[in-house]
Amino acid sequence: MIDPVAIDLGFIRVHWYGIIMGLAFLIGTYLARYNVKRSGLDPDHVLNMVVLIIPAAIICARAYYVIFEWDQYKDNLLSIFYVWQGGLAIHGGLIGGVLAGAWYVRKHNLPFFRLGDAFMPSVILGQAIGRWGNFINQEAHGDVAPAEFMEKFPAFIREQMYIGGQYYHPTFLYESLWNLVVFVILMLMLRFFKKFDGQIMFSYMILYSLGRFFIEGLRTDSLLIADTLRVAQLVSLCLIAAGLILMLIFARKSMRSKHEDPSK
């Protein structure tokens, strides 16, 4: 088992979870600057936005998780702040990040959907990296897996997924790999196939949610409503539907605009 504490100085402990999340934010910020600049916008806006987006995303991701797992925290409210132990819900983080970004965009009169398109590859790449924090904490895994199946994975993954005398499906890995696939698709779309602002955002909503829906069905630690309905699957279905509807609306609007003005 990998020690979740990377550095222990006695008076302070640095956890792998925090290091991995910090790395995800750092790489995502660098990539966002690159994509924003290619989109014809001032990349300096990225750092200004990140200063707002990262805290908002972390706070909302934690609040989202705590709300659905209130019984776990109600008797020790201080534990709500133990974010290094895990418990950051991606959908909550997305809500916080979008709200903070939308506030900044509106304040500075920037094109929301064009900026969103430039940010989405960073978001999905950050999610792919962040899932390895779940790996270190032995969370976000699936149900019991046969030893023969786990032999297909590298030894360090098998050992970390050996919990309480049993192997568990490394669903963190499944989602991380899916997110990497989505990242490549979004980068290619942004670089070669983008037809209208918002296309990359809506594609992210559809593709990420599609993978999350199926992978969530394998997990044993899902946030639940009424002890039966998996919150992430419900949210994923809503995001897929919203993404498809918005994609259709914006695509038609773009085609109509080009038909009226062939020079575009």
Handedness of CA 173, 31, 243, 102 (dihedral sign): positive
- Asked if 29 contacts 101 with a C-beta cutoff of 8 angstroms, the reply is no
Instruction: Specify which residues 13 forms β-bridges with.
Output: 8
Binning pLDDT at 50, 70 and 90, where does residue 84 land?
Answer: confident
Q: What was the pLDDT predicted at 213?
A: 95
| pLDDT for the residue numbered 4 | 87
pLDDT value at 264 more than 60: no
pTM of the model: 0.89
Structure tokens at 37: 């600049």
What would the two tokens of residue 47 be?
A: 């750092």
Confidence of residue 260 (pLDDT cuts 50, 70, 90): low
Q: SS3 sequence, the chain?
A: CCCCEEEECCCCEEEHHHHHHHHHHHHHHHHHHHHHHHCCCCCHHHHHHHHHHHHHHHHHHHHHHHHHCHHHHCCCHHHHHCHHHCCCCHHHHHHHHHHHHHHHHHHCCCCHHHHHHHHHHHHHHHHHHHHHHHHHCCCCCECECCHHHHCCCCHHHHHHCEECCEEECCHHHHHHHHHHHHHHHHHHHHHHHCCCCCHHHHHHHHHHHHHHHHHHCCECCCCEECCCEEHHHHHHHHHHHHHHHHHHHHHHHHHHHHHHCCCC
For residue 162, pLDDT beyond 90? yes
* Domain ranges (residues) in the chain: 5-254
Residues in the chain: 264
Residue 83 has pLDDT above 90, yes or no: no
pLDDT at 261: 66
* Lowest mean pLDDT, pick from 19-33, 56-70, 99-113, 247-261: 247-261
pLDDT digits (tens, 9 = 90+) for 207-234: 999 999 999 999 888 888 877 789 999 9
Report the pLDDT value the prediction gives residue 259, as an integer from 0 to 100: 64
pLDDT given at position 263 = 58
Give the pLDDT score at 68.
84
Lowest mean pLDDT among 42-51, 96-105, 219-228: 219-228
Amino acid at 88: L
For residue 230, the number of C-alpha atoms closer than 13 Å in the C-beta half-sphere is: 15
Instruction: Specify which residues 142 forms β-bridges with.
Output: 219
As a whole number of angstroms, the distance between CA 254 and CA 232 comes to 32
pLDDT, tens digit (0-9, with 9 covering 90-100), for 181-190: 999 999 999 9
Give the end-to-end CA distance of the chain in Å, rounded to a whole number: 57
- What is the pLDDT averaged over residues 163-184? 96
**Residues above pLDDT 70, as percent of the chain:** 98
106-160 tens-digit pLDDT? 999 999 999 999 999 999 999 999 999 999 999 889 999 999 999 999 999 999 9
| Average pLDDT of the chain, as a whole number | 91
Mean pLDDT along residues 23-47 = 94
Q: How far does Cα 3 stand from its chain's mean position?
A: 24
